[in-house]
Structure 1
Amino acid sequence: MGETMEAPQGKTLKLILLALNCAMLSLSCAGPLLMRLYFIHGGASVWLSSWLETGGWPIIFIPLAVAYFRRRASEGPSARLVLMDPFLFVAAAVIGVLTGLDDYLYSYGVARLPVSTSALLIATQLAFTAGFAFLLVRQLFTSYSIFLLTIGAGVLAMHTSSDRPAGESKGAYYAGFFMTLGAAALYGLVLPLVELTYKKAKQAVTYSLVLEIQLVMCFFATAFCTIGMLVNKDFQAIPREARNFGLGEAQYYVVLVSNAIVWQFFFLGAIGVIFYASSLFSGIMIAILIPVTEILGVICFHEKFQAEKGVSLALSLWGFASYFYGEFKRAKEEKQQQQQQQQQLQLQQDNEAFLESEKVKIHGFYLGCCGSMSYIWPA
C-alpha cells in the first residue's frame, strides 16, 4: 500500500487551492464566538452545540456534485458516482465518531470557560498534533516549541480562580478546563489519523475523494451527537430555548444556522490543508488563529485579560515562532542534503562515464596493438 495522494500538477494551482482552504480554515475564529454567544444568552444544550459543529455536512454535497459532473463530462457515463472503497468508508466512520466525541468535549469547555481561556487551551492542540503526527506518519517536530505551548497551558491552570465566570462553581470551571484540554488532545489525534488514512488508501486520493471522506466523517460525528441529543431530550428543548433566548427567537435560529455553516467551512478547510500540505501544517494554522480568537473574545464579550493570559499568549506565540524556525531550519538542511546527494550522484555518474570512456579507449588501444602485432608477426 503505497502513498497515492494526488495533488494538482501545477505548483501555482496547488498554492492557490491551499490558500483557499487556509481561508476557510480561518473561519475557526468565528466558531467559538458563535458558540459562546449561544451559551451566554440562554443556550444550555452542550449536545446541541456539539451537533452544530458537524451538522452542516449536507453542504459538502454541493462541491461533490460539481466534482461529479466535471468527472462525468471528461469520463462519460462510466464515471463513478462514489469513489471511496470500503476501507476508506470504515476509517472515515471511525474518525467521525472520534470527531463527534471531540465536538462534545469542546462544546462543554466553551460552555464553562471564557473564549479567551478556551482559545489558549486549544493552542496546545499543536503539541498533540505534532506528537501524534510523529507517531503515526513520522513527521518530525521541534520539541522546544511543544514545551512552550505546554507551559502556557500550565500557567492558565495555576491561575483559574480570577477567570471564572460569575455564578459558576469551581468544579464546573475545572471540568470545562480539562474537557477543553481533552478536546485539544483528541483533535490532535484526529488530524494525523486523517492523513494516515490518505497514506494507507489503496486508491488515488483526489480532492473529490477527500470530500467524500469528510462527508462520511461529519455524518457519523453528527449521528454520535444526535444520539446524545435524543438521550438528553434536547430536541424537545429547542423551541423553549428559542423563546427564552436573550437576543430574540429569530436570532436564536440565526445563531444556530450560522454556527453550523461556519464550522462546516472550518472542517472543509482543515481537511483541504491536510490534503494540499500536511496534518501538522493544518494544526499550525489552527494554532496561529488562537491569538485572533482570544482578542475577539475580549472585544466581543468584554472578557478579562489578566496577566497570566498575557504570559500564556506570549508563551504560545513563542512556541509558534520556535516551531516555524525549527521547520525553516529543517527544510533548509533537507534542501542542502538533497543538493549534496544530487551532486554526489552527478559526480558518481560522471566518474562512471569517464571510466566507461577510458575502458573504450583502452579496448581500442588493445585492439590496435593486436592488429599491429599481427601485421609485424603474421601467423
Structure 2
Amino acid sequence: MEIDQAGKTNGQQPLFPTPSSTPPPPPPPPQISLSLKRLLTIVNCLLLCLGNAGGPIIVRIYFLHGGHRQWLSAWLETAGWPLLLFPLSLSFLYRRRSNPSAPAVLITPRLILASAFIGLLTGVDDYLYAYGLDFLPVSTSAVLIATQLAFTALFAYFIVRQRFTPYSINAVALLTVGAAILAMHASSDRPAGVSVGGYWKGFVLTLGAAALYGLVLPLVELTYSKAGQPVTYTLVMEMQLVIGFFATAFSTVGMIINKDFQALTREAANFGLGETKYYLVLSFAAILWQCFFLGAVGVISCVNTLLAGILIAVFIPMVEVLAVVFLHENFSIEKGMALVLCLWGLASYSYGEYREAKEKKEQIASPQVQTSAV
C-alpha cells in the first residue's frame, strides 16, 4: 500500500487528518419539552401579573405618603436586576455540571448591544410612567397604560409581522372598549392638591409611556428572532439583566443630577408611614417591578408579544380593585363593566390560541394518516 505526500492511501481517505480538516459540528441543544414550556409560560404569566398589579400600587403609596422623587421611582422599576444573578448562577452551575466546557454566558455581543438599546428605551419609559403617576390616581394611570395594547398591536404588526386572528382582534377590541369606558370618568379623578395643569401633564406623560412600552415589547420579540441562536430561558434572563442594568444606569444619571441620593435620608425621616416602612416600600417596589419585566420578556419568548400586551391590559381591573382596597379610591360601575370586558377579551384570546393549536395538530397528523393508508 503506497502513501502519497498528502498522507492519503491511493484512492482512500487520509490516514492522518490535516490541520485544515473541519471539526464535526457540535450537537444541537436539547429541545425544551412541551410540558416544561407550558410551565415556564404559566410562571412568567404569574410574574407578569404580580408585578403588573403590585408595582403601580406600591409606587402610588410612595407618592401618597410623602415621596416626591420621580427619578427614584423610575430607578426602582429596574433596580431589582441583580436578583437575576441568583437563578443565572444556578443555571451556570447546572450547565457546567452537564458539560464542563459550557460557556459562562450565552448572550453574544450583538445581543448585548440590542439589549442595551432596549434598556435605554425602558429607562425613558420608566421615567415617563413614574412622573405621570405622581400626578394621577392609579385608576386613571391604569386606564392610560391600557392603551399600550393598541400600540403593541400596531408596532408588532410592522416590526415582527404579528398575525392577527378574529379572536385576537376581538380581544384587542374588547380591551380597548373597556379602557375607553374607564376613561369616561377620568376627568373627575384629579387627586387633591394636584393642579389642572399637573393633572394633564401626568395624563400626557403616562400616555407617552404606554406608547413607548408598546414599541419596546415588539423590539424584544424582534431581538429574539434575530438572535441567531436558540432562545433559552437562561438567555432571556441574561438579556433582561442587561436591559435592567442599562435602564437603571439611565435613571441613576437622572438621580445624580437631581440630587436624589442626598435626599433619601431626609425623605425617609418625613415619610408618612415611618422610616422603616419607607425603605420597605422601596424594596418591594424594586422586587415587584422586576417580576413584571422578567415576566413580560418571558411571555414574549414562550408565546408572543400580543399575549404580553393582553395580560397587561387584562390586569387593569385588578389594579382598580387593589386601588380601592389599599388606596381607598372609588369603584364605579364603569370599572365593573371594564372588568367584564377584560375577562371576556382574555377568554376570546385563549380560545383562539386553543383553536390554532388544535388545527396545527390536525395538520401534522393528517399527512401521517394519509401515508399509513397508502
Aligned-partner residue type, residue 53 of structure 1? E
Q: What does 1:310-349 align with in structure 2 at a 5 Å threshold?
A: 310-328=336-354, 338=363, 343=366, 347=370
SS at match of 1:102: helix
Q: Which runs of 5+ in 1 are unaligned?
A: 354-379
Q: For the residues of structure 2 that align with 1:268 and 1:96, how far apart are their CA atoms?
A: 13
Q: Label 1:350 to 1:244 Cα distance change in 2 as closer, same or farther (>3 A).
A: closer
1:114 lines up with 2:137 in the alignment:
yes
Match of 1:50 among 74, 82, 100: 74
Kindly indicate whether the alpha-carbon contact (under 8 Å) linking 1:24 and 1:268 is maintained by their aligned counterparts in 2.
yes
SS at match of 1:54: coil
Q: Which residue of 1 aligns with 2:221?
A: 195
SS at match of 1:50: helix
Q: For the residues of structure 2 that align with 1:160 and 1:39, how far apart are their CA atoms?
A: 19
Q: What does 1:170-189 align with in structure 2 at a 5 Å threshold?
A: 170-189=196-215
Moved more, 101-110 or 291-300: 101-110
Q: Which residue of 2 aligns with 1:299?
A: 325
1:11 lines up with 2:34 in the alignment:
yes
Q: Label 1:63 to 1:121 Cα distance change in 2 as closer, same or farther (>3 A).
A: same
Q: Which residue of 2 aligns with 1:40?
A: 64
Q: For the residues of structure 2 that align with 1:16 and 1:311, how far apart are their CA atoms?
A: 32
Q: For the residues of structure 2 that align with 1:315 and 1:72, how far apart are their CA atoms?
A: 48
Percent sequence identity over aligned pairs: 57
Q: For the residues of structure 1 that align with 2:176 and 2:316, how far apart are their CA atoms?
A: 15
TM-fit CA distance, 1:91: 0.6
Q: Deviations over 1:150-207 (max 9, x none)?
A: 3444444443332111111112112222222222222222122111111101222222
Q: TM-score, normalised by structure 2?
A: 0.83
Q: What does 1:87-98 align with in structure 2 at a 5 Å threshold?
A: 87-98=110-121
Counting matched residue pairs gives 343
Q: Deviations over 1:55-105 (max 9, x none)?
A: 0111111111111111111111x2211221121011100111111111112
Q: Which residue of 1 aligns with 2:269?
A: 243
1:66 lines up with 2:77 in the alignment:
no
Q: What does 1:230-309 align with in structure 2 at a 5 Å threshold?
A: 230-309=256-335
Q: Label 1:170 to 1:153 Cα distance change in 2 as closer, same or farther (>3 A).
A: farther
Moved more, 177-186 or 291-300: 177-186
TM-fit CA distance, 1:242: 0.5
Q: Label 1:163 to 1:255 Cα distance change in 2 as closer, same or farther (>3 A).
A: same
Q: Label 1:325 to 1:169 Cα distance change in 2 as closer, same or farther (>3 A).
A: farther
TM-fit CA distance, 1:233: 1.6
Q: For the residues of structure 1 that align with 2:120 and 2:29, how far apart are their CA atoms?
A: 26
Q: Which runs of 5+ in 2 are unaligned?
A: 1-27
Kindly indicate whether the alpha-carbon contact (under 8 Å) linking 1:54 and 1:264 is maintained by their aligned counterparts in 2.
yes
SS at match of 1:167: coil
Kindly indicate whether the alpha-carbon contact (under 8 Å) linking 1:117 and 1:309 is maintained by their aligned counterparts in 2.
no
| Structure of larger gyration radius | 1
Q: Which residue of 1 aligns with 2:158?
A: 135
Q: Label 1:159 to 1:255 Cα distance change in 2 as closer, same or farther (>3 A).
A: same
Q: Which residue of 2 aligns with 1:356?
A: none
Kindly indicate whether the alpha-carbon contact (under 8 Å) linking 1:120 and 1:291 is maintained by their aligned counterparts in 2.
no
TM-fit CA distance, 1:126: 2.3
Q: Label 1:333 to 1:306 Cα distance change in 2 as closer, same or farther (>3 A).
A: same
Q: Label 1:69 to 1:344 Cα distance change in 2 as closer, same or farther (>3 A).
A: closer
Kindly indicate whether the alpha-carbon contact (under 8 Å) linking 2:314 and 2:342 is maintained by their aligned counterparts in 1.
no
Q: Label 1:222 to 1:154 Cα distance change in 2 as closer, same or farther (>3 A).
A: same
Kindly indicate whether the alpha-carbon contact (under 8 Å) linking 2:47 and 2:294 is maintained by their aligned counterparts in 1.
yes
Q: For the residues of structure 2 that align with 1:6 and 1:164, how far apart are their CA atoms?
A: 54
**Higher helix proportion:** 1
Q: Which residue of 1 aligns with 2:16?
A: none
Aligned-partner residue type, residue 52 of structure 1? L
Q: For the residues of structure 2 that align with 1:252 and 1:327, how far apart are their CA atoms?
A: 43
Aligned-partner residue type, residue 124 of structure 1? T
Q: Which residue of 1 aligns with 2:108?
A: 85
Moved more, 239-248 or 134-143: 134-143
Q: For the residues of structure 2 that align with 1:327 and 1:127, how far apart are their CA atoms?
A: 19
Moved more, 178-187 or 211-220: 178-187
TM-fit CA distance, 1:314: 4.6
Q: Which residue of 2 aligns with 1:211?
A: 237
TM-fit CA distance, 1:313: 4.3
